[in-house]
Each structure stands twice: as C-alpha cells, then as structure tokens.
Amino acid sequence: MVTKAEEAISSFELDALKETANIGTGHATIALSALMNRKVNITIPNTTLVSVHEVGGKITSANEAVVGIYSKMRQGIAGNIVIILPTSCAYRLIDFINKKAEGEQKKDILNKEDIATLKKLGSLLYSAYLTALANFFEQNIVFQKPNIVSTFGDSIVDFILVQIGEQEKVLLISINFDVEGTDIKGDFVLLFTLTSLSPLLENLKKKMGMA
C-alpha cells in the first residue's frame, strides 16, 4: 500500500535512495568490522518514507535506556544520523574497542574516555557511510562532530525530531546490527527531509538523462 508520504516521491527516486542505503551500509559495516576485528551482521536497510510522528515507533523501544551517537549533516544535504545502542551494549562496545575486560570498571555514567571512544566510533562510521552517499550523488557532504546522548528511547527520538520540524516528511533509513561473538547490538538510523533530498534527486535524474 502506498502511503501519502510515498506519493511525494517517484518509484525511481525511492529505488535510487534504497540503493544508496545499501551502498552506504556496506561501507559502514566494513569500517566497523575492521575496528572490532569481528564479523558484523546487519539487516537489509529498511528504507521508508514516513511522516515525522511515525518515526518514534520505528527506531527504538520507548522505555529502553540507550546511548545515542548523534550527528547532523551541515553541508550538501540536511539530515540527521544516529547510532542507538542499549546502554549495556554501549559499555561492552567501549570496553571492546579499548581492549579492556568487559566490566573491568564499574560504570554508572559515561566518563570522558567513554565519550571520546563513542565519538571516534561515530565519526568513523558516519564518514564511511556519507562518503558513499556523496560519491553516489556527486555531492560534498559534511557532518558535524558527533554528540553523545544518554537517555531513554522516546527521549532520544524527541531530541532528533526537534531538529526537523513537525510538518516535514522524512526518509527513514534504519539498519539493525550485531557484532558476531559478542552481545553488542544496536541500530544505525538516518533521517533526511524530502526538501533536502530534492536537489540531489534532480542531479541524479540529470545524470541519467531523465530531466
């Protein structure tokens, strides 16, 4: 069934965006796998057009304590990008990256070293993903340095959506991932407004002789 949001974009454009999601996810997965020296399993990217009020129920459990690695694209395209990790998985991931025994230090809050590790992870994965996106659209895309948000699932969604505006339709790209041989799992989420995507899609159609 075609939603009202999907009527705002052609099937060709949506297919192009889905292909972009696949390419970007592949690059980000390779980067994470190299960092962890482990195989990373991912789901096929779920790429859908939704209204803003539908986003929350699609990306995280409202009552789950999570850590978000959040960034905003500030050049080339307007969008938001976030890695959402259950709090326990965030601590495991930090220990793994820093080569510490799991639970070596009892943690109630993220310390400066933890935050630095998560920011480094975010920058690595976002650079890999957005470089693929930029190459696909022949567009320079720049993102802000990641910020770390530790809260409950519904609050992190509110934090992201306040950056967008209530009236916007958004392209939601969500990918579930887990690191093989560990209990580390999370979600990789991107949100783009249709307004921001329009010039990129026009550029793509011109390249293919469709405009």
**Res 116: pLDDT:** 95
Closest CA relative to residue 59, chosen from 178, 176, 184, 194: 176
Helix (H) / strand (E) element for 144: namely: none
| Structure tokens belonging to residue 162 | 């306040």
How many structural domains is the chain composed of?
1
What is the tens place of the pLDDT at every residue in 83-124? 999 999 999 999 999 888 765 555 667 899 999 999 999 999
Domain around 64: 4-207
For the chain, the residue count is 211
More confident residue, 60 or 91: 91
DSSP reduced 3-state for 183: coil
Q: Where are the alpha helices (DSSP H) in the chain?
A: 4-7, 11-36, 56-59, 87-97, 112-137, 153-161, 194-207
More confident residue, 128 or 2: 128
DSSP reduced 3-state for 186: strand
Q: For the ranges 1-5, 7-11, 68-72, 206-210, which has the lowest average pLDDT?
A: 1-5
Closest CA relative to residue 146, chosen from 171, 105, 117: 117
| Structure tokens belonging to residue 151 | 């809260």
Q: Which residues contact 89 (CB under 8 A, 6 or more apart)?
A: 183, 184, 185, 186
Query: What CATH code is carried by the domain that includes residue 11?
Result: 3.40.1550.10
Percent of the chain predicted with pLDDT > 90 = 29
